[in-house]
């Protein structure tokens, strides 16, 4: 392919490179391209986990870089450049995306992950054609990506640190520059070498051919659009408003890329449409169950316990401790690395801080019990989701309301799940409002007493009663600090629908009301209203399902649980407030806790009229 005519198509256009990379500048300059450099100010904060593949993340970052520069230049002088080129290079290994290291230790972490291994280098490229239309910036995006496979030799610690101390890794994706000292680390390269340097020149030129030398008329039917010049007249674009260019008819053939508008596929009315945006978020949802099951399995096999006690460990060592196959264990560990739950180094695998704190079974804030509950119970319910939608939530539960106390094992599992969840939120619930005026509280359905302990700790004058079913309280001793409750905390067995409620100035309902239908919620609040003296209060903590779509998304777990919950129903924050006011509680205060996951309400019992 003769490159000069291809690059020549851009010689009379104002071309901008939206990158400060000296390597990209050198590659394009040596190819004969004339351009100016305007580094992008786009903050690279895209959520990597929301993209189905690393190249999709690189392409989107490249596009956002180029669009930011185009918009900024247009705002500055009301005339955009003709073409803006954006690029983003990433290194991936074991499903992890490695960008530029933040410090020497981060560079060591990255290079250790690459040491002796094969990895992929992706560069996403966006070619943005700009013009002014109707006094506004109009852009046409062409995207593609290139992948190159690189293998590092097995390197000593001394050599790694010598390279890091040279300073070269600090501004390079993956922590190395193949065109300089980093080339000594590389055993082989499969693919475009310049792609590893920072810009896939060959693929870029091929893309220009597609844009400026499209197939003949007998191959592709072209439709002239009012707002976009036809390819046939692309050479005569000097009359386009603002001097911009817009290459209709460009074809994006790269995997995962977007086609330029008006090039492929014709509808019955003769219009030509470009492919829709890549549905990265949707694909993430489709694959989401796989990530959950990998997490559940690792918890069930006590992987995080093993790596909390001994780390780093090789896959074979972990397999021996959990009595599993080496191959299967290795793949599970790599999946956990990709999920950000484990770290992989030359010495083996180790927990992240989050995994040790929340996924090992013995931590103070462990969610291991919650994970196990979801794996053994909730997962099965959701496999019958279609039945629940068609026939009602009772059908998902086998046609009957599940009783958590049907066996000691099920009960303990349920209590561990609730204890872990309560430990995470108890301090926030206890301190959301000033409760110091209350000297006694009763936590209805308080289970292991996690919230009761926080209330007693936060308010030294307060005595707290935990009121729950006898089968629950039978097992609470193993959840108490030191094996026994505080002197200011007591556990009283009973059914809050049937038995006499303990006397208290404050009644607490934490994650209780959502489990019950309206008639039983009114019955319970009626009992509280009759028991609570004027000036007393009720504290409600619930996940809400609000009518506002944004709020509903933030409480997705609550919304999904409603699909398989046999008896309860979701309520909005406003509904909970109305419920309290209907039963004589006034001056209702509202707060949020746990990052908005919990909706808190504190109502005061009014004096009778």
In this prediction, the residues of the chain whose per-residue pLDDT falls under 50 are 1-2, 217-270, 399-406, 547-554
> Which pLDDT belongs to residue 254?
37
Whose tokens are 């994706």? That residue is 173
The residue among 299, 302, 419 whose CA lies nearest residue 371 is 299
pTM of the model: 0.47
> Which pLDDT belongs to residue 492?
93
Q: List the catalytic residue out of 47, 77, 88, 281.
A: 88
- Read off the tokens for 91: 């290194």
How does the average pLDDT of the chain come out, rounded?
80
| 47 annotated active-site | no
Q: What is the 3-state secondary structure (H, E, C) of 154-171?
A: CCCHHHHHHHHHCCHHHH
Query: By three-state DSSP, how is residue 433 classified?
Result: coil
Q: What are the C-alpha distances in Å from 560 to residues 367, 382, 385, 514, 551?
A: 20, 9, 10, 13, 14
> Which pLDDT belongs to residue 564?
54
d(CA 89, CA 146): 9
First CA to last CA distance, the chain: 91
Question: Sign (positive/negative) of CA torsion 237, 239, 245, 247?
Answer: negative
- Read off the tokens for 177: 């520059």
Q: Evaluate whether 240 touches 229 at the Cβ level (below 8 Å).
A: yes
- Read off the tokens for 307: 């790596």
Q: What is the 3-state secondary structure (H, E, C) of 338-353?
A: HCCCEEEECCEEEECH
- Count CA atoms within 13 Å of residue 552 on its CB side: 11
Give the H/E segment covering residue 440: strand 440-444
> Which pLDDT belongs to residue 553?
46
pLDDT digits (tens, 9 = 90+) for 535-592: 999 999 988 765 444 444 445 555 555 555 556 677 888 889 999 999 999 999 988 7
Contacts of 308 (CB under 8 A, 6+ apart): 351, 355, 356, 360
> Which pLDDT belongs to residue 268?
43
């Amino acid at each position: 392919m003769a490159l000069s005519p291809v690059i020549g198509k851009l010689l009379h256009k104002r071309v901008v490179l939206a990158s400060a990379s000296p390597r990209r500048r050198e590659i394009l300059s040596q190819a004969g391209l004339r351009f100016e450099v305007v580094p992008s100010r786009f903050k690279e904060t895209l959520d990597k986990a929301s993209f189905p593949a690393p190249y999709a993340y690189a392409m989107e970052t490249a596009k956002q870089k180029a669009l930011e520069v185009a918009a900024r230049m247009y705002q500055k002088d009301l005339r955009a450049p003709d073409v803006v080129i954006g690029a983003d290079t990433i290194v991936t290994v074991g499903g992890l995306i490695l960008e530029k290291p933040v410090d020497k230790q981060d560079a060591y972490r990255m290079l250790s992950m690459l040491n002796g291994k094969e990895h992929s280098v992706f560069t996403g490229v966006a070619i943005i054609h700009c013009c002014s239309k109707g006094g506004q910036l109009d852009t046409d995006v062409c995207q593609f990506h290139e992948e190159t496979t690189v293998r590092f030799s097995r390197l000593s610690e001394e050599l790694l640190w010598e390279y890091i101390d040279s300073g070269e890794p600090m501004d390079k994706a993956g922590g190395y520059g193949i065109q300089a000292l980093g080339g000594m680390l590389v055993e082989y390269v499969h693919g475009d070498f310049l792609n590893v340097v920072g810009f896939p020149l060959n693929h870029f030129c091929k893309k220009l051919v597609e844009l400026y030398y499209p197939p003949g008329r007998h191959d592709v039917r072209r439709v002239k659009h009012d707002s976009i010049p036809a390819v046939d007249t692309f050479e005569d674009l000097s009359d386009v408003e603002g001097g911009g260019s817009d290459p209709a008819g460009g074809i994006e053939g790269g995997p995962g890329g977007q086609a330029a508008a008006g090039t492929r596929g014709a509808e019955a009315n003769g219009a030509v449409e470009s492919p829709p945006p890549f549905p990265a978020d949707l694909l993430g949802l489709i694959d989401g169950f796989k990530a959950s099951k990998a997490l559940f399995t690792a918890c069930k096999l006590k992987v995080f316990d093993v790596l909390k006690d001994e780390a780093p460990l090789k896959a074979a060592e972990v397999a021996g401790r959990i009595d599993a196959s080496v191959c299967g264990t290795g793949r599970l560990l790599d999946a956990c690395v990709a999920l950000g739950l484990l770290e992989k180094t030359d010495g083996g695998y180790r927990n992240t801080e989050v995994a040790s704190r929340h996924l090992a079974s013995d931590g103070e804030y462990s969610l291991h019990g919650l994970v196990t509950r979801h794996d053994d119970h909730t997962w099965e319910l959701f496999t019958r989701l279609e039945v629940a939608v068609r026939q009602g939530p009772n059908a998902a539960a086998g046609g009957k309301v599940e009783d958590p106390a049907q066996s000691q094992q099920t009960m303990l599992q349920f209590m561990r799940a609730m204890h872990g969840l309560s430990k995470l939120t108890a301090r926030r619930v206890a301190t959301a409002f000033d409760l110091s005026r209350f000297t006694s509280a009763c936590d209805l359905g308080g289970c292991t007493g996690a919230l009761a302990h926080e209330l007693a700790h936060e308010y030294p004058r307060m005595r707290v009663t935990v009121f729950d079913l006898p089968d629950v309280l039978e097992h609470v001793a193993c959840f108490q600090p030191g094996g026994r409750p505080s002197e200011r905390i007591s556990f009283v067995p009973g059914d809050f629908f049937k038995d006499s409620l303990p006397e208290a100035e404050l009644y607490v309902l934490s994650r209780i009301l959502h489990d019950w239908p309206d008639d039983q919620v009114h019955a319970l609040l009626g009992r509280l209203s009759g028991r609570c003296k004027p000036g007393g209060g009720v504290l409600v903590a619930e996940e809400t399902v609000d009518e506002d779509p944004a709020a509903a998304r933030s409480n997705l777990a609550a919304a999904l649980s409603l699909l398989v919950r046999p008896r309860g129903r979701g309520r909005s924050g406003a509904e909970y407030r109305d419920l309290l006011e209907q039963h004589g509680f006034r001056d209702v205060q509202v707060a949020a806790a746990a990052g908005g996951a919990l909706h808190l309400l504190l109502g005061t019992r009014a004096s009778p009229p």
